[in-house]
């Protein structure tokens, strides 16, 4: 949740970088969002489009790369990817002892400016 | 042209949280971010913790959307306390803590407990500069909570199950709460307490004293 404040953060970051690079227009903005990050991509795009109007990002469009949730089992060593947002057990050995290695990202990768 | 940004969206909060941690560390204060749903008993736990002999100098930051009743309850125990009103935000963030931490006598404290806004979802997502997150769940909230709100349980180092005095009167499977919570977070330390009767609190106080002084 908090897609509106996340969208505000994105606009703040890209506006600063755009100006710092000597440009005044932002086109595509590439994001990497993990499936377990808590962000709903459609809600984020909706929020971003709702608040970008009077900013340097007025023409910007978000492209979202989804990162699946992956884990590494501490017991059997298996690296696995799940469809869900949460891992409850290693799908190979059933162990509860694992760590999440990807899927919680909320990153801005790059953007097109002019 | 393409410009590399390579920035975390929540970078600002993480940066301020790190700075808060640096300030707390320099003052030698152990900091707990105490989270729960509304009404689970966070303030009651703080009242009990302040009234029992921990041997610790404790300060409190209270976080609520509105009002100061929690800070007023804490003041009665003589602990330095600051009330944050978020005015609508459903969780505390690092910037809110940054703005008040100099209102506390950090050099004279061993332990700072930040009582977050009552909410089982959002506080888990935001660092505020704490050493650990502790989660409180009242058994009256039901045994389905761990699997319904997994992030809170995964992010916390300690789970305190409160209101165990109600167990004979409600349909709750405490063993299921513990089993599901540990399946999400095998390293979770679990305490079972009743802030009303005092049951289980001495184990919590002993753990707290050791954790805060180890810092």
pTM of the model: 0.89
Of the pLDDT bands very low, low, confident and very high (cuts 50, 70, 90), residue A74 is confident
At residue A52, does pLDDT exceed 80? yes
Q: CA-to-CA distance for B190 and B134, rounded, in angstroms? A: 10
Topology (CATH level 3) of domain B11-213: Rossmann fold (3.40.50)
At residue B176, does pLDDT exceed 80? yes
Instruction: Determine the pLDDT at residue B115.
Output: 97
Is A89 part of a structural domain of the chain?
A: no
Of the pLDDT bands very low, low, confident and very high (cuts 50, 70, 90), residue A88 is confident
Number of folded domains in chain A? 1
* CA count, 13 A, side-chain hemisphere, B87: 1
Q: Select from B60, B58, B59, B119 the least CA-distant residue to B92.
A: B119
The secondary element (H helix, E strand) that includes residue B32 is strand B30-36
Is A77 part of a structural domain of the chain?
A: no
Q: Do B3 and A88 touch (CB under 8 A)?
A: no
Is A75 part of a structural domain of the chain?
A: no
Q: Select from B173, B209, B174 the least CA-distant residue to B193.
A: B174
Q: CA-to-CA distance for B205 and B158, rounded, in angstroms? A: 13
Instruction: Determine the pLDDT at residue A1.
Output: 64
Residue with the larger pLDDT of the pair B61 and A4: B61
At residue B54, does pLDDT exceed 80? yes
Q: CA-to-CA distance for A86 and B146, rounded, in angstroms? A: 12
Q: Do B6 and A109 touch (CB under 8 A)?
A: yes
Is A18 part of a structural domain of the chain?
A: yes
Q: Select from B9, B10, B7 the least CA-distant residue to A110.
A: B7
Instruction: Determine the pLDDT at residue A98.
Output: 79
- This model of the complex carries an ipTM of 0.88
Distance from CA of A112 to the nearest CA of B (A): 4
B125 touches chain A (CB under 8 A): yes
Is A86 part of a structural domain of the chain?
A: no
CA distances from B72 to B68, B88, B117 (A): 6, 20, 16
Which of B1, B4, B5 is the best mutation test for A, with the most CBs of A within 10 A? B5
Is A93 part of a structural domain of the chain?
A: no
CATH number of the domain to which A43 belongs: 3.30.2320.50
CA distances from B69 to A10, A102, B39, B64, B161 (A): 36, 41, 13, 9, 23
In whole numbers, what is the pLDDT of chain B averaged over residues?
95
**Which residue in the set B1, B10, B182 is minimally distant from A106, CB to CB?**
B10
Give the max Cα distance, chain B. Answer: 67
Q: Give the range of the structural domain holding residue A60, as residue numbers without chain letter.
A: 3-68+103-113
Q: Select from B115, B125, B116, B94 the least CA-distant residue to B23.
A: B94
Is A74 part of a structural domain of the chain?
A: no
Is A22 part of a structural domain of the chain?
A: yes
């Amino acid at each position: 949740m908090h897609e509106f404040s996340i969208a505000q953060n994105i606009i703040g970051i890209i506006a600063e970088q755009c100006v710092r690079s000597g440009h005044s227009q932002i086109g595509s903005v590439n994001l990497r969002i993990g499936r377990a990050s808590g962000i709903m991509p459609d809600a984020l795009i909706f929020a971003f489009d709702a608040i970008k109007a009077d900013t340097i990002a007025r023409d910007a469009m978000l492209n979202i790369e989804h990162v699946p949730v992956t884990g590494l089992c501490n017991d059997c060593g298996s690296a696995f990817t799940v469809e869900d947002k949460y891992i409850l057990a290693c799908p190979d050995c059933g162990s509860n002892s694992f760590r999440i290695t990807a899927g919680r990202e909320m990153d801005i990768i790059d953007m097109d400016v002019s | 042209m393409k410009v590399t940004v390579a920035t975390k969206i929540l970078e600002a909060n993480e940066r301020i949280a790190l700075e808060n941690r640096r300030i707390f560390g320099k003052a030698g204060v152990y900091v707990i971010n105490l989270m729960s749903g509304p009404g689970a008993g966070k303030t009651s736990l703080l009242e009990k913790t302040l009234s029992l002999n921990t041997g610790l100098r404790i300060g409190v930051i209270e976080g609520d959307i509105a009002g100061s009743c929690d800070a007023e309850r804490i003041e009665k125990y003589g602990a330095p306390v600051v009330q944050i009103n978020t005015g609508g935000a459903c969780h505390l963030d690092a910037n809110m803590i940054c703005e008040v931490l100099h209102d506390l006598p950090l050099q004279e404290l061993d332990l700072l407990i930040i009582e977050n806004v009552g909410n089982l979802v959002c506080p888990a997502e935001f660092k505020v500069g704490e050493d650990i997150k502790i989660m409180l769940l009242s058994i009256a909230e039901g045994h389905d909570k761990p699997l319904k709100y997994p992030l809170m349980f995964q992010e916390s180092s300690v789970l305190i199950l409160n209101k165990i005095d109600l167990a004979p009167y409600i349909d709750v499977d405490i063993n299921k709460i513990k089993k599901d919570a540990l399946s999400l977070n095998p390293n979770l330390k679990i305490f079972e307490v009743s802030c009303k009767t005092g049951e289980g609190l001495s184990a919590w106080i002993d753990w707290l004293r050791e954790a805060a002084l180890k810092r």
